[in-house]
Amino acid sequence: MRLLAATLLSIGAITAQAAPEIKGTPDELRQLVHPVENRVMISGEAQEKAYTDKAIVSVVVTTEEKQLAKSLAANAALRSSIQQQLLKAGIAADAIKSSKFSTSPQYGWFGSKPDSYKVVNRMAITISEEKQMEAIATAADSHKEIEVSSTEFEHTQKDEFDQKVKAAALAKIMATKKNYEKTLGITLKPVAIRDSRIFQRASVGARGVEEVLVTAQRRMKTSATMADESSFAPTPSSGGSSFDEIVYEAFLEVEFKVE
């Protein structure tokens, strides 16, 4: 009997130790006893197309002279000439920016003294009309030292279109909510919202144009490299956007409580 009693006490102690200890605030403990009210998640998606209304054109000016001072002066004179042409074409002065110059001594096959000095400077020109691009092209065509290296397109109404697609996606969610309430005879109260995906991308047609342009630029770069491996001349850049049509997309989720 004593052995049986001791065994039962041991089993009781082990059972008491194995039982989970419940901790938490009154609200948390209440949720363990009573299930959470029913919830439903409704999602909505919207798209909006837009067209870029601003372009930043990069123009590279390269000069090379026997003396560094002359090369610097020639580069500055060319940039000043370009700026005057662009001002006459209606491009504002504050839309024409020049980067810091860079020099590159050109060495011959023998000797440590440079044979010449090459000065490279990039001008970034912001335009909003096609005729302004024609003025830049005219300036580039008139001098072999000037080259249009890249064009990046921007949309100045990005924030407005972001809000527009979000509102459209939310309107779809609220329409679905109203339909649920009418069909099922329930009331849905919003308790949370998630911006799962808000972004912009090139349209299918614009991506096709971009692919053609990038492929052409790569071919030009490959041809230039094969022609002269040591050439310092700049090549067209494929880093910027080359599309003009943008698709804004928004995907939202709203969690409702069923009442």
Q: Which domains does the chain have, with CATH numbers?
A: 39-49+158-199+250-258 (no CATH), 54-154 (3.30.70.2970)
Buried b (16+ CB within 10 A) or exposed e, 170-198: beebeebbeebeeeeeeebeeeeeeeeee
**Who wins on pLDDT, 138 or 154?**
138
State the Cα–Cα distance between residues 180 and 224, nearest whole angstrom. Answer: 64
pLDDT category at 61 given cuts 50, 70, 90 is very high
Are 176 and 44 spatial neighbours (Cβ–Cβ below 8 Å)?
A: yes
For residue 65, give the 3-state DSSP assignment. Answer: strand
pLDDT category at 183 given cuts 50, 70, 90 is very high
What pLDDT does 168 receive? 94
pLDDT category at 79 given cuts 50, 70, 90 is very high
Task: Say which residue the tokens 């020109």 belong to.
Answer: 125
What pLDDT does 155 receive? 85
The C-alpha R_g of the chain, in whole angstroms, comes to 34
Which among 22-31, 173-182, 211-220 has the top mean pLDDT?
A: 173-182
Provide the phi-psi class of 185: left if phi over 0, else alpha when psi is between -120 and 50, else beta. Answer: left
Q: What is the mean pLDDT of residues 184-205?
A: 76
What pLDDT does 164 receive? 92
In 15-74, which ranges are E strands? 39-51, 54-65
Other beta carbons less than 10 A from residue 83's beta carbon: 17
Beta bridge partners of 51: 245
Q: Measured in Å, how far apart are the chain's first and last C-alpha atoms?
A: 60
Are 83 and 75 spatial neighbours (Cβ–Cβ below 8 Å)?
A: no
Other beta carbons less than 10 A from residue 87's beta carbon: 14
pLDDT category at 165 given cuts 50, 70, 90 is very high
What pLDDT does 50 receive? 85
User: Which element (helix H / strand E) includes 117?
Assistant: strand 114-127
Are 124 and 149 spatial neighbours (Cβ–Cβ below 8 Å)?
A: no
Q: What is the mean pLDDT of residues 129-152?
A: 88
Tokens at 113, concatenated? 């003294």
**Who wins on pLDDT, 235 or 13?**
13
Tell me the pTM.
0.54
**Who wins on pLDDT, 107 or 166?**
166
User: Which element (helix H / strand E) includes 258?
Assistant: strand 245-258
